[in-house]
Structure 1
Amino acid sequence: MIAIRELHEIAEFEQASGLFDEIWHFDPESRPISVELMRAMSHAGNYVAGAFDDAGRLVGASVGFFGAGNTLHSHITGAVSGHGTGLQLKLHQRRWALERGIERITWTYDPLVRRNAHFNLAKLGARPVEYLPSFYGVMVDAINQGGDSDRVLASWPLSAPHVAALVRGEPCRRPLPADAEVVLADEDGRPVAFHSDAPTLLVALPEDIETMRVTDPGAAKAWRLAVREVLGGLLVEGGAVTAFHDKAFYVVERPSLGTASSSDRV
Protein backbone atom coordinates (compact mmCIF):
# COMPACT_ATOMS: atom_id res chain seq x y z
CA MET A 1 0.00 0.00 0.00
CA ILE A 2 1.38 3.39 -1.02
CA ALA A 3 0.43 6.57 0.81
CA ILE A 4 1.00 9.90 -0.97
CA ARG A 5 1.02 13.25 0.78
CA GLU A 6 2.49 16.70 0.47
CA LEU A 7 5.89 17.31 2.06
CA HIS A 8 6.56 20.21 4.42
CA GLU A 9 9.56 19.39 6.64
CA ILE A 10 13.28 19.75 5.93
CA ALA A 11 13.87 16.10 6.81
CA GLU A 12 11.32 15.08 4.17
CA PHE A 13 12.94 17.26 1.51
CA GLU A 14 16.30 15.70 2.38
CA GLN A 15 14.77 12.25 1.88
CA ALA A 16 13.37 13.34 -1.48
CA SER A 17 16.75 14.71 -2.55
CA GLY A 18 18.39 11.43 -1.54
CA LEU A 19 15.80 9.46 -3.52
CA PHE A 20 16.43 11.53 -6.65
CA ASP A 21 20.17 10.93 -6.27
CA GLU A 22 19.54 7.21 -5.86
CA ILE A 23 17.56 7.11 -9.11
CA TRP A 24 19.70 9.40 -11.31
CA HIS A 25 23.11 9.48 -9.57
CA PHE A 26 23.42 13.22 -10.13
CA ASP A 27 26.75 14.96 -10.11
CA PRO A 28 26.82 17.14 -6.95
CA GLU A 29 27.09 20.24 -9.13
CA SER A 30 24.16 19.38 -11.40
CA ARG A 31 21.25 18.44 -9.15
CA PRO A 32 18.01 19.69 -10.74
CA ILE A 33 16.61 20.84 -7.39
CA SER A 34 17.97 21.46 -3.92
CA VAL A 35 16.54 20.82 -0.48
CA GLU A 36 16.31 24.57 0.07
CA LEU A 37 14.37 25.14 -3.16
CA MET A 38 11.92 22.35 -2.35
CA ARG A 39 11.35 24.00 1.02
CA ALA A 40 10.71 27.39 -0.58
CA MET A 41 8.43 25.97 -3.28
CA SER A 42 6.37 24.01 -0.77
CA HIS A 43 6.00 27.04 1.49
CA ALA A 44 4.85 29.14 -1.49
CA GLY A 45 2.05 26.66 -2.23
CA ASN A 46 3.56 24.69 -5.09
CA TYR A 47 3.35 20.91 -5.48
CA VAL A 48 5.90 18.93 -3.47
CA ALA A 49 4.74 15.41 -2.61
CA GLY A 50 6.13 12.07 -1.54
CA ALA A 51 4.99 8.46 -1.75
CA PHE A 52 5.58 6.21 1.26
CA ASP A 53 5.38 2.43 1.53
CA ASP A 54 3.93 0.45 4.45
CA ALA A 55 7.18 0.76 6.35
CA GLY A 56 7.14 4.54 6.03
CA ARG A 57 10.00 4.52 3.53
CA LEU A 58 9.96 7.21 0.82
CA VAL A 59 9.68 5.40 -2.53
CA GLY A 60 8.67 8.28 -4.79
CA ALA A 61 8.63 12.06 -4.92
CA SER A 62 7.45 14.79 -7.25
CA VAL A 63 7.98 18.56 -7.45
CA GLY A 64 5.96 20.95 -9.60
CA PHE A 65 5.41 24.68 -9.83
CA PHE A 66 2.71 26.95 -11.19
CA GLY A 67 3.24 28.01 -14.80
CA ALA A 68 1.76 30.38 -17.33
CA GLY A 69 -1.72 29.80 -18.68
CA ASN A 70 -3.18 28.15 -15.58
CA THR A 71 -0.85 25.16 -15.70
CA LEU A 72 1.21 23.18 -13.25
CA HIS A 73 4.68 22.33 -14.56
CA SER A 74 5.97 19.07 -13.12
CA HIS A 75 9.70 19.67 -12.78
CA ILE A 76 10.84 16.27 -11.50
CA THR A 77 9.12 13.01 -10.57
CA GLY A 78 10.99 9.88 -9.57
CA ALA A 79 10.00 6.56 -8.06
CA VAL A 80 11.62 3.28 -7.05
CA SER A 81 10.70 0.46 -9.44
CA GLY A 82 7.65 -1.58 -8.55
CA HIS A 83 4.43 -0.78 -6.70
CA GLY A 84 3.15 1.39 -9.60
CA THR A 85 4.32 4.39 -7.60
CA GLY A 86 5.02 6.60 -10.61
CA LEU A 87 1.44 6.28 -11.84
CA GLN A 88 0.00 6.85 -8.38
CA LEU A 89 2.11 10.01 -8.00
CA LYS A 90 0.86 11.40 -11.32
CA LEU A 91 -2.77 10.65 -10.42
CA HIS A 92 -2.28 12.37 -7.05
CA GLN A 93 -0.74 15.32 -8.86
CA ARG A 94 -3.76 15.42 -11.19
CA ARG A 95 -6.23 15.46 -8.28
CA TRP A 96 -4.19 18.15 -6.52
CA ALA A 97 -4.22 20.34 -9.64
CA LEU A 98 -7.94 19.90 -10.34
CA GLU A 99 -8.78 20.84 -6.75
CA ARG A 100 -7.05 24.17 -7.42
CA GLY A 101 -8.79 24.83 -10.71
CA ILE A 102 -5.79 23.83 -12.86
CA GLU A 103 -6.73 22.02 -16.07
CA ARG A 104 -3.32 21.18 -17.54
CA ILE A 105 -0.03 19.74 -16.31
CA THR A 106 3.13 19.94 -18.40
CA TRP A 107 6.53 18.30 -18.06
CA THR A 108 9.53 17.44 -20.18
CA TYR A 109 10.92 13.97 -20.89
CA ASP A 110 13.56 12.39 -23.09
CA PRO A 111 11.75 11.39 -26.32
CA LEU A 112 14.19 8.51 -26.91
CA VAL A 113 13.15 6.47 -23.86
CA ARG A 114 10.44 4.01 -24.91
CA ARG A 115 9.05 3.25 -21.46
CA ASN A 116 8.66 6.96 -20.69
CA ALA A 117 6.89 7.61 -23.98
CA HIS A 118 4.55 4.66 -23.36
CA PHE A 119 3.84 5.77 -19.79
CA ASN A 120 3.20 9.40 -20.71
CA LEU A 121 1.08 8.78 -23.80
CA ALA A 122 -0.58 5.38 -23.31
CA LYS A 123 -0.97 5.32 -19.52
CA LEU A 124 -1.66 8.99 -18.81
CA GLY A 125 -2.93 10.40 -22.10
CA ALA A 126 -0.42 13.26 -22.25
CA ARG A 127 0.69 14.49 -25.66
CA PRO A 128 4.06 15.85 -26.84
CA VAL A 129 3.53 19.39 -28.12
CA GLU A 130 7.03 20.82 -28.59
CA TYR A 131 10.51 19.46 -29.32
CA LEU A 132 13.23 21.14 -27.23
CA PRO A 133 16.82 20.44 -28.47
CA SER A 134 19.45 20.21 -25.72
CA PHE A 135 16.98 21.78 -23.29
CA TYR A 136 19.15 21.35 -20.18
CA GLY A 137 22.53 21.47 -21.93
CA VAL A 138 24.91 18.52 -21.48
CA MET A 139 23.79 16.31 -18.59
CA VAL A 140 26.38 14.32 -16.64
CA ASP A 141 24.18 12.04 -14.50
CA ALA A 142 24.54 8.27 -14.77
CA ILE A 143 21.44 7.85 -16.98
CA ASN A 144 22.14 10.57 -19.56
CA GLN A 145 25.88 9.81 -19.82
CA GLY A 146 26.91 13.32 -20.84
CA GLY A 147 24.71 13.41 -23.96
CA ASP A 148 22.56 16.21 -25.35
CA SER A 149 19.47 16.74 -23.22
CA ASP A 150 16.82 16.91 -25.97
CA ARG A 151 13.34 16.88 -24.47
CA VAL A 152 9.77 17.06 -25.62
CA LEU A 153 7.24 19.11 -23.72
CA ALA A 154 4.32 16.90 -22.74
CA SER A 155 0.92 18.48 -22.14
CA TRP A 156 -1.65 16.61 -20.01
CA PRO A 157 -5.22 17.96 -20.41
CA LEU A 158 -6.58 16.77 -17.08
CA SER A 159 -10.29 16.78 -17.91
CA ALA A 160 -10.10 15.60 -21.52
CA PRO A 161 -12.41 12.61 -22.19
CA HIS A 162 -9.54 10.28 -23.13
CA VAL A 163 -7.62 11.20 -19.96
CA ALA A 164 -10.69 10.69 -17.76
CA ALA A 165 -11.21 7.29 -19.39
CA LEU A 166 -7.62 6.25 -18.71
CA VAL A 167 -7.92 7.35 -15.07
CA ARG A 168 -10.99 5.10 -14.79
CA GLY A 169 -8.90 2.23 -16.13
CA GLU A 170 -10.46 2.24 -19.59
CA PRO A 171 -7.72 2.04 -22.26
CA CYS A 172 -8.34 4.29 -25.26
CA ARG A 173 -6.86 2.44 -28.21
CA ARG A 174 -7.57 3.77 -31.66
CA PRO A 175 -6.81 1.44 -34.59
CA LEU A 176 -3.80 2.47 -36.62
CA PRO A 177 -4.88 3.77 -40.04
CA ALA A 178 -4.18 1.30 -42.83
CA ASP A 179 -2.25 3.95 -44.77
CA ALA A 180 0.12 4.83 -41.90
CA GLU A 181 3.77 4.82 -43.03
CA VAL A 182 7.07 4.60 -41.18
CA VAL A 183 9.30 7.66 -41.54
CA LEU A 184 11.92 6.55 -38.99
CA ALA A 185 12.71 2.85 -38.62
CA ASP A 186 14.99 0.74 -36.44
CA GLU A 187 17.15 -1.41 -38.73
CA ASP A 188 19.63 -3.56 -36.81
CA GLY A 189 19.79 -1.01 -34.02
CA ARG A 190 20.38 1.99 -36.30
CA PRO A 191 17.89 4.69 -37.31
CA VAL A 192 16.87 4.83 -40.97
CA ALA A 193 14.71 7.71 -42.21
CA PHE A 194 12.20 7.65 -45.06
CA HIS A 195 10.22 10.28 -46.91
CA SER A 196 6.44 10.00 -46.93
CA ASP A 197 3.44 12.15 -47.75
CA ALA A 198 1.07 9.89 -45.79
CA PRO A 199 -1.26 11.65 -43.34
CA THR A 200 -0.30 9.30 -40.49
CA LEU A 201 3.38 8.69 -39.79
CA LEU A 202 5.29 6.37 -37.46
CA VAL A 203 8.52 7.41 -35.75
CA ALA A 204 10.47 4.53 -34.19
CA LEU A 205 12.56 4.61 -31.03
CA PRO A 206 15.50 2.35 -30.15
CA GLU A 207 14.71 -0.60 -27.92
CA ASP A 208 16.91 0.52 -25.01
CA ILE A 209 18.62 3.88 -25.46
CA GLU A 210 19.98 3.93 -21.90
CA THR A 211 21.98 0.74 -22.42
CA MET A 212 22.98 1.88 -25.91
CA ARG A 213 24.53 5.07 -24.49
CA VAL A 214 27.00 2.82 -22.63
CA THR A 215 27.53 0.01 -25.17
CA ASP A 216 27.36 1.97 -28.45
CA PRO A 217 27.59 5.75 -27.96
CA GLY A 218 27.82 6.30 -31.73
CA ALA A 219 24.47 4.60 -32.34
CA ALA A 220 22.93 6.49 -29.43
CA LYS A 221 24.09 9.77 -30.93
CA ALA A 222 22.70 8.77 -34.33
CA TRP A 223 19.30 8.10 -32.73
CA ARG A 224 19.36 11.44 -30.94
CA LEU A 225 19.98 13.32 -34.18
CA ALA A 226 17.48 11.25 -36.19
CA VAL A 227 14.62 11.69 -33.73
CA ARG A 228 15.47 15.38 -33.39
CA GLU A 229 15.24 15.81 -37.16
CA VAL A 230 12.21 13.61 -37.84
CA LEU A 231 9.99 14.00 -34.78
CA GLY A 232 11.16 17.54 -34.08
CA GLY A 233 10.64 18.49 -37.70
CA LEU A 234 7.11 17.08 -37.77
CA LEU A 235 6.14 18.99 -34.64
CA VAL A 236 7.52 22.23 -36.09
CA GLU A 237 5.45 21.61 -39.23
CA GLY A 238 2.29 21.35 -37.15
CA GLY A 239 2.13 17.58 -36.76
CA ALA A 240 0.25 16.20 -33.75
CA VAL A 241 1.46 13.18 -31.79
CA THR A 242 -1.69 11.21 -31.04
CA ALA A 243 -0.47 7.87 -29.66
CA PHE A 244 2.47 5.58 -28.94
CA HIS A 245 2.01 2.43 -31.02
CA ASP A 246 3.20 -1.05 -30.06
CA LYS A 247 5.42 0.45 -27.31
CA ALA A 248 7.84 1.44 -30.06
CA PHE A 249 6.48 4.15 -32.42
CA TYR A 250 5.20 7.67 -32.03
CA VAL A 251 2.05 8.10 -34.13
CA VAL A 252 2.03 11.53 -35.76
CA GLU A 253 -0.93 13.00 -37.62
CA ARG A 254 0.31 15.61 -40.05
CA PRO A 255 -1.62 18.51 -41.61
CA SER A 256 -3.33 17.36 -44.81
CA LEU A 257 -1.07 17.75 -47.84
CA GLY A 258 -3.72 16.87 -50.43
CA THR A 259 -1.42 14.44 -52.21
CA ALA A 260 -1.20 10.69 -52.62
CA SER A 261 1.20 8.91 -50.28
CA SER A 262 4.59 7.71 -51.36
CA SER A 263 7.58 6.37 -49.51
CA ASP A 264 11.23 6.00 -50.31
CA ARG A 265 14.51 5.94 -48.48
CA VAL A 266 16.29 9.26 -47.92
Structure 2
Amino acid sequence: MSLSLEASPLVRQAQTAAALAAAAARIRVVDESDLDRLRDVEALLIRVWGTSPHGAPIPTDLLRSISHAGCNVTAAYSENGTLCGAAAAIVSPGNSAMYSLIAGVLPGLADNGVGFALKQHQRSWALTRGIETMTWTFDPLVSRNARFNLTKLGAHAAEYLENFYGLMDDEINAEDQSDRLVAVWPLTSRESVACSEGSPLATVLPDFGPASGRGTGPDGHPNVVLDGDSLWCRVPTDIVALRGRDPVQAASWRASVREIFTAEFARGRSATGVTRDGWYRLTTGGPQ
Protein backbone atom coordinates (compact mmCIF):
# COMPACT_ATOMS: atom_id res chain seq x y z
CA MET A 1 0.00 0.00 0.00
CA SER A 2 1.78 3.14 -1.19
CA LEU A 3 1.77 6.43 0.66
CA SER A 4 0.77 9.73 -0.88
CA LEU A 5 3.80 11.66 -2.15
CA GLU A 6 2.14 14.98 -1.33
CA ALA A 7 0.00 15.15 1.76
CA SER A 8 -3.35 16.86 1.40
CA PRO A 9 -4.43 19.51 3.92
CA LEU A 10 -6.70 16.94 5.60
CA VAL A 11 -3.84 14.46 5.92
CA ARG A 12 -1.66 17.19 7.42
CA GLN A 13 -4.47 18.07 9.81
CA ALA A 14 -4.77 14.42 10.90
CA GLN A 15 -1.02 14.11 11.38
CA THR A 16 -0.91 17.28 13.47
CA ALA A 17 -3.92 16.20 15.55
CA ALA A 18 -2.33 12.81 16.19
CA ALA A 19 0.94 14.39 17.26
CA LEU A 20 -0.83 16.81 19.60
CA ALA A 21 -2.92 14.00 21.13
CA ALA A 22 0.23 11.97 21.81
CA ALA A 23 1.97 14.98 23.33
CA ALA A 24 -1.02 15.73 25.56
CA ALA A 25 -0.97 12.13 26.81
CA ARG A 26 2.82 12.31 27.20
CA ILE A 27 3.36 9.21 25.11
CA ARG A 28 5.02 8.13 21.88
CA VAL A 29 2.72 6.42 19.37
CA VAL A 30 4.24 4.31 16.59
CA ASP A 31 3.46 1.62 14.03
CA GLU A 32 4.87 -1.54 15.62
CA SER A 33 6.37 -4.54 13.82
CA ASP A 34 9.23 -5.70 16.04
CA LEU A 35 8.63 -9.30 17.14
CA ASP A 36 9.68 -8.85 20.77
CA ARG A 37 7.55 -5.73 21.12
CA LEU A 38 4.59 -7.49 19.53
CA ARG A 39 4.93 -10.07 22.31
CA ASP A 40 4.57 -7.16 24.72
CA VAL A 41 1.46 -6.04 22.83
CA GLU A 42 -0.05 -9.51 23.23
CA ALA A 43 0.67 -9.37 26.97
CA LEU A 44 -0.93 -5.93 27.29
CA LEU A 45 -4.08 -7.08 25.47
CA ILE A 46 -4.32 -10.02 27.87
CA ARG A 47 -4.07 -7.62 30.82
CA VAL A 48 -6.90 -5.52 29.37
CA TRP A 49 -9.24 -8.20 28.01
CA GLY A 50 -8.19 -11.33 29.87
CA THR A 51 -8.05 -14.70 28.16
CA SER A 52 -10.58 -17.23 26.92
CA PRO A 53 -10.21 -20.97 26.25
CA HIS A 54 -8.81 -19.86 22.89
CA GLY A 55 -5.96 -17.95 24.52
CA ALA A 56 -4.93 -14.32 24.00
CA PRO A 57 -7.32 -11.83 22.36
CA ILE A 58 -4.83 -11.51 19.48
CA PRO A 59 -1.67 -13.65 19.70
CA THR A 60 1.77 -12.46 18.68
CA ASP A 61 1.91 -14.48 15.48
CA LEU A 62 -1.32 -12.89 14.23
CA LEU A 63 -0.12 -9.41 15.18
CA ARG A 64 3.06 -10.15 13.25
CA SER A 65 1.03 -11.21 10.20
CA ILE A 66 -1.21 -8.14 10.37
CA SER A 67 1.84 -5.88 10.39
CA HIS A 68 3.61 -7.84 7.66
CA ALA A 69 0.52 -7.61 5.44
CA GLY A 70 0.81 -3.82 5.51
CA CYS A 71 -2.05 -3.33 7.91
CA ASN A 72 -1.96 -1.44 11.18
CA VAL A 73 -0.52 -2.38 14.56
CA THR A 74 -0.22 0.72 16.72
CA ALA A 75 1.65 0.88 20.03
CA ALA A 76 1.84 3.65 22.61
CA TYR A 77 4.86 4.01 24.91
CA SER A 78 5.16 6.15 28.02
CA GLU A 79 8.02 8.56 28.56
CA ASN A 80 10.06 5.81 30.24
CA GLY A 81 9.49 3.42 27.33
CA THR A 82 6.76 1.28 28.92
CA LEU A 83 4.09 -0.03 26.57
CA CYS A 84 0.83 1.55 27.76
CA GLY A 85 -1.60 1.01 24.88
CA ALA A 86 -2.04 -0.82 21.61
CA ALA A 87 -4.45 -1.25 18.73
CA ALA A 88 -4.68 -3.35 15.59
CA ALA A 89 -6.66 -2.87 12.40
CA ILE A 90 -6.92 -4.41 8.96
CA VAL A 91 -7.87 -2.91 5.61
CA SER A 92 -10.99 -4.04 3.77
CA PRO A 93 -10.87 -5.18 0.10
CA GLY A 94 -10.17 -2.33 -2.28
CA ASN A 95 -8.63 -0.25 0.51
CA SER A 96 -12.04 1.38 0.94
CA ALA A 97 -12.17 1.21 4.72
CA MET A 98 -10.19 0.22 7.79
CA TYR A 99 -11.57 -2.29 10.29
CA SER A 100 -10.37 -1.96 13.87
CA LEU A 101 -9.94 -5.38 15.50
CA ILE A 102 -8.99 -4.34 19.01
CA ALA A 103 -7.69 -1.47 21.10
CA GLY A 104 -6.63 -1.45 24.71
CA VAL A 105 -4.99 0.81 27.29
CA LEU A 106 -3.07 -0.28 30.35
CA PRO A 107 -5.38 -0.43 33.39
CA GLY A 108 -5.36 2.82 35.31
CA LEU A 109 -4.64 5.02 32.28
CA ALA A 110 -8.11 5.21 30.77
CA ASP A 111 -8.46 8.93 31.53
CA ASN A 112 -4.96 9.92 30.44
CA GLY A 113 -5.71 10.36 26.73
CA VAL A 114 -3.82 7.25 25.60
CA GLY A 115 -6.81 5.69 23.85
CA PHE A 116 -7.62 8.96 22.09
CA ALA A 117 -4.03 9.26 20.89
CA LEU A 118 -4.11 5.68 19.58
CA LYS A 119 -7.25 6.37 17.54
CA GLN A 120 -5.93 9.67 16.20
CA HIS A 121 -2.76 7.87 15.09
CA GLN A 122 -4.95 5.31 13.29
CA ARG A 123 -6.95 8.11 11.67
CA SER A 124 -3.74 9.70 10.38
CA TRP A 125 -2.46 6.29 9.21
CA ALA A 126 -5.66 5.69 7.25
CA LEU A 127 -5.94 9.11 5.63
CA THR A 128 -2.29 9.01 4.59
CA ARG A 129 -3.21 5.89 2.59
CA GLY A 130 -6.37 7.35 1.09
CA ILE A 131 -8.72 5.49 3.46
CA GLU A 132 -11.56 7.71 4.70
CA THR A 133 -13.66 5.39 6.89
CA MET A 134 -12.94 3.18 9.88
CA THR A 135 -15.39 0.72 11.39
CA TRP A 136 -15.45 -1.55 14.43
CA THR A 137 -17.93 -3.13 16.82
CA PHE A 138 -18.56 -2.39 20.48
CA ASP A 139 -20.89 -3.52 23.25
CA PRO A 140 -23.79 -1.03 23.46
CA LEU A 141 -24.09 -1.64 27.21
CA VAL A 142 -20.55 -0.40 27.95
CA SER A 143 -21.42 3.27 28.19
CA ARG A 144 -17.86 4.48 28.75
CA ASN A 145 -16.68 2.97 25.46
CA ALA A 146 -19.83 4.13 23.68
CA ARG A 147 -19.24 7.71 24.75
CA PHE A 148 -15.61 7.53 23.63
CA ASN A 149 -16.60 6.17 20.22
CA LEU A 150 -19.61 8.33 19.42
CA THR A 151 -19.01 11.56 21.33
CA LYS A 152 -15.25 11.90 21.71
CA LEU A 153 -14.24 10.50 18.28
CA GLY A 154 -17.26 11.50 16.19
CA ALA A 155 -18.34 8.05 15.01
CA HIS A 156 -21.98 7.00 14.67
CA ALA A 157 -23.87 3.69 14.68
CA ALA A 158 -26.99 2.52 12.86
CA GLU A 159 -26.54 -1.26 12.85
CA TYR A 160 -27.23 -3.64 15.74
CA LEU A 161 -25.69 -7.13 15.60
CA GLU A 162 -27.35 -9.67 17.88
CA ASN A 163 -24.95 -12.09 19.63
CA PHE A 164 -22.32 -11.29 16.99
CA TYR A 165 -19.51 -13.44 18.40
CA GLY A 166 -21.72 -16.00 20.14
CA LEU A 167 -21.56 -16.49 23.90
CA MET A 168 -18.49 -14.70 25.26
CA ASP A 169 -16.31 -16.63 27.72
CA ASP A 170 -13.49 -14.21 28.38
CA GLU A 171 -12.90 -12.53 31.73
CA ILE A 172 -14.63 -9.23 30.89
CA ASN A 173 -17.78 -10.44 29.14
CA ALA A 174 -18.56 -13.13 31.73
CA GLU A 175 -20.76 -15.48 29.71
CA ASP A 176 -22.85 -12.61 28.32
CA GLN A 177 -24.30 -12.57 24.83
CA SER A 178 -22.16 -10.58 22.44
CA ASP A 179 -24.59 -8.00 21.03
CA ARG A 180 -22.67 -5.26 19.24
CA LEU A 181 -23.19 -1.88 17.64
CA VAL A 182 -21.23 -1.16 14.47
CA ALA A 183 -19.29 2.09 14.83
CA VAL A 184 -18.73 3.95 11.56
CA TRP A 185 -16.08 6.65 11.81
CA PRO A 186 -16.04 9.00 8.79
CA LEU A 187 -12.47 10.24 9.13
CA THR A 188 -12.98 13.35 7.00
CA SER A 189 -16.28 14.57 8.47
CA ARG A 190 -16.69 17.93 10.16
CA GLU A 191 -17.48 16.15 13.42
CA SER A 192 -14.39 13.92 13.28
CA VAL A 193 -12.09 16.83 12.47
CA ALA A 194 -13.53 18.86 15.37
CA CYS A 195 -13.17 15.87 17.71
CA SER A 196 -9.58 15.30 16.64
CA GLU A 197 -8.82 18.86 17.69
CA GLY A 198 -10.45 18.40 21.08
CA SER A 199 -13.78 20.09 20.28
CA PRO A 200 -16.46 17.38 20.17
CA LEU A 201 -20.07 18.40 19.67
CA ALA A 202 -21.90 18.59 22.98
CA THR A 203 -24.16 15.65 23.91
CA VAL A 204 -26.41 16.87 26.72
CA LEU A 205 -29.59 15.17 27.87
CA PRO A 206 -32.41 17.73 27.80
CA ASP A 207 -34.57 18.35 30.83
CA PHE A 208 -37.62 16.14 30.60
CA GLY A 209 -40.84 15.57 32.47
CA PRO A 210 -43.17 12.55 32.80
CA ALA A 211 -44.84 13.34 29.46
CA SER A 212 -41.54 12.81 27.62
CA GLY A 213 -40.87 9.36 29.08
CA ARG A 214 -41.36 6.38 26.80
CA GLY A 215 -40.01 3.51 28.90
CA THR A 216 -38.54 2.30 32.17
CA GLY A 217 -35.34 0.31 32.53
CA PRO A 218 -34.81 -2.91 34.51
CA ASP A 219 -33.73 -0.75 37.47
CA GLY A 220 -37.13 0.96 37.59
CA HIS A 221 -35.95 4.36 36.35
CA PRO A 222 -36.72 6.07 33.00
CA ASN A 223 -34.60 4.76 30.17
CA VAL A 224 -36.32 6.10 27.02
CA VAL A 225 -37.15 9.77 26.49
CA LEU A 226 -38.49 11.55 23.41
CA ASP A 227 -37.33 15.12 22.83
CA GLY A 228 -38.38 16.62 19.52
CA ASP A 229 -36.84 14.55 16.74
CA SER A 230 -34.35 12.86 19.08
CA LEU A 231 -34.92 9.74 21.14
CA TRP A 232 -32.71 9.20 24.19
CA CYS A 233 -31.96 5.71 25.51
CA ARG A 234 -30.16 5.01 28.79
CA VAL A 235 -27.82 2.07 29.51
CA PRO A 236 -26.11 1.11 32.81
CA THR A 237 -23.16 3.26 33.84
CA ASP A 238 -21.08 0.14 34.63
CA ILE A 239 -22.39 -3.05 33.02
CA VAL A 240 -19.22 -4.99 33.94
CA ALA A 241 -19.81 -4.44 37.66
CA LEU A 242 -23.53 -5.14 37.23
CA ARG A 243 -22.81 -8.50 35.56
CA GLY A 244 -20.89 -9.56 38.66
CA ARG A 245 -23.38 -8.14 41.14
CA ASP A 246 -26.71 -8.98 39.45
CA PRO A 247 -26.40 -11.06 36.26
CA VAL A 248 -30.19 -11.36 35.97
CA GLN A 249 -30.65 -7.60 35.81
CA ALA A 250 -27.68 -7.34 33.41
CA ALA A 251 -29.38 -9.84 31.09
CA SER A 252 -32.61 -7.81 31.32
CA TRP A 253 -30.71 -4.70 30.23
CA ARG A 254 -29.32 -6.62 27.26
CA ALA A 255 -32.82 -7.65 26.13
CA SER A 256 -34.28 -4.19 26.72
CA VAL A 257 -31.58 -2.28 24.84
CA ARG A 258 -31.61 -4.82 22.00
CA GLU A 259 -35.33 -4.24 21.48
CA ILE A 260 -35.04 -0.46 21.55
CA PHE A 261 -32.06 -0.15 19.24
CA THR A 262 -33.33 -2.69 16.74
CA ALA A 263 -36.67 -0.90 16.48
CA GLU A 264 -35.22 2.60 16.27
CA PHE A 265 -32.58 1.69 13.69
CA ALA A 266 -35.34 0.14 11.57
CA ARG A 267 -37.13 3.52 11.76
CA GLY A 268 -34.05 5.24 10.34
CA ARG A 269 -32.45 6.58 13.51
CA SER A 270 -28.71 6.51 14.23
CA ALA A 271 -26.82 6.67 17.52
CA THR A 272 -24.85 9.92 17.31
CA GLY A 273 -23.70 10.62 20.84
CA VAL A 274 -23.64 9.43 24.45
CA THR A 275 -23.74 11.47 27.66
CA ARG A 276 -21.42 10.90 30.61
CA ASP A 277 -24.20 9.12 32.50
CA GLY A 278 -25.02 6.66 29.73
CA TRP A 279 -27.81 8.23 27.64
CA TYR A 280 -27.56 7.56 23.90
CA ARG A 281 -28.89 10.20 21.51
CA LEU A 282 -30.73 8.57 18.58
CA THR A 283 -31.41 10.90 15.68
CA THR A 284 -32.67 10.81 12.12
CA GLY A 285 -30.51 12.08 9.30
CA GLY A 286 -27.14 11.11 10.74
CA PRO A 287 -24.91 13.05 13.14
CA GLN A 288 -26.32 16.36 14.37
- Structure 1 residue 165: deviation in Å? 1.1
Distance 2:242 2:205 in 1: 29
1:166 has 2:192 as partner = no
For residues 218 and 120 of structure 1, what CA distance do their matches in structure 2 show?
Answer: 27
Q: CA contact under 8 A between 1:183 and 1:230: conserved in structure 2?
A: no
What's 2:7 paired with?
Answer: none
1:75 paired residue number: 101
- Post-superposition offset of 1:251: 1.0
Kindly tell me: are residues 191 and 48 of structure 1, through their superposed partners in 2, closer, same or farther at Cα, counting changes over 3 Å? Answer: farther
Q: Distance in 2 between matches of 1:225 and 1:56?
A: 44
Task: Indicate conservation of the 8 Å contact 2:73/2:86, yes or no.
Answer: yes
Measure how far apart 1:72 and its partner are: 0.4
1:68 and 1:235 map into 2 onto residues whose CA distance is 27
1:2 aligns with one of 20, 27, 30: 27
Q: Give SS of 1:171's match.
A: coil
Q: Aligned residues, how many?
A: 254
Residue 232 of structure 1 and its aligned partner are, at CA, apart by 2.1
| 1:23 paired residue among 36, 48, 51 | 48
Code of the residue aligned with 1:107 in structure 2: it is: W
**Equivalent in the alignment of 1:116:** 145
Q: Does 1:207 align with 2:233?
A: no
Judge conservation of contact 2:205–2:279 (CA < 8 Å) in 1: no
Q: Which residue of 1 aligns with 2:57?
A: 32
SS at match of 2:259: helix
Change beyond 3 A, Cα 1:193–1:116: closer
Three-state SS of the structure 2 residue aligned to 1:60 is strand
Pair 1:159–1:206, CA change in 2 (3 A): same
Q: Which residue in 2 is equivalent to 1:125?
A: 154
CA, structure 1 residues 64+183, in 2 after alignment: closer, same or farther (shift >3 Å)? farther
User: In structure 2, what is the equivalent of residue 264 of structure 1?
Assistant: none
Change (3 A) 1:196 1:58: closer
- State the distance in 2 between where 1:178 and 1:47 align: 43
Cα drift, residue 237 of structure 1: 2.7
Deviation at 1:211, TM superposition (A): 0.4
1:28-54 deviations in Å (ceiling 9; x for gaps) = 415432211111110110001110111
CA distance in 2, matches of 1:47, 1:163: 20
Q: Quick one: which of 51, 56, 61 aligns to 2:76?
A: 51
The offset of 1:200, in angstroms, is 1.7
1:157 & 1:194 partners in 2: Cα distance?
Answer: 27
CA distances 1:115-173 after superposition (whole Å, capped 9, x unpaired): 11111111111101210111111111111001101110000111101111111122312
Residues 1:64 and 2:89 aligned together? yes
Equivalent-residue separation in structure 1 for 2:226 and 2:78 (angstroms): 49
Distance 1:150 1:30 in 2: 21
User: What is the TM-score when the length of structure 2 is the normalising length?
Assistant: 0.81
Aligned counterpart, 2:247: 217
Identity, in percent, stands at: 37
Classify 1:233/1:191 alpha carbon distance in 2 versus 1 (closer, same or farther; 3 Å).
farther
Q: Counterpart of 1:101 in 2: which secondary structure?
A: coil
**Residue 184 of structure 1: how far off its partner (Å):** 4.5
Unaligned 5+ residue runs, structure 2?
1-25
Tell whether the 8 Å contact from 2:226 to 2:232 is kept in structure 1 after alignment: no
User: Counterpart of 1:52 in structure 2: which amino acid?
Assistant: Y
* Distance in 2 of aligned mates of 1:109 and 1:204: 16
* Whole-angstrom CA distance in 2 between matches of 1:134 and 1:190: 25
Cα distance, 1:219 vs structure 2: 0.3
When normalised by structure 1's length, the TM-score is 0.87
Q: Which amino acid aligns with 1:209?
A: I
Query: What is the CA RMSD across the aligned residues, in angstroms?
Result: 2.4
Q: CA deviation at 1:225?
A: 0.6
Which residue in 2 is equivalent to 1:41?
66
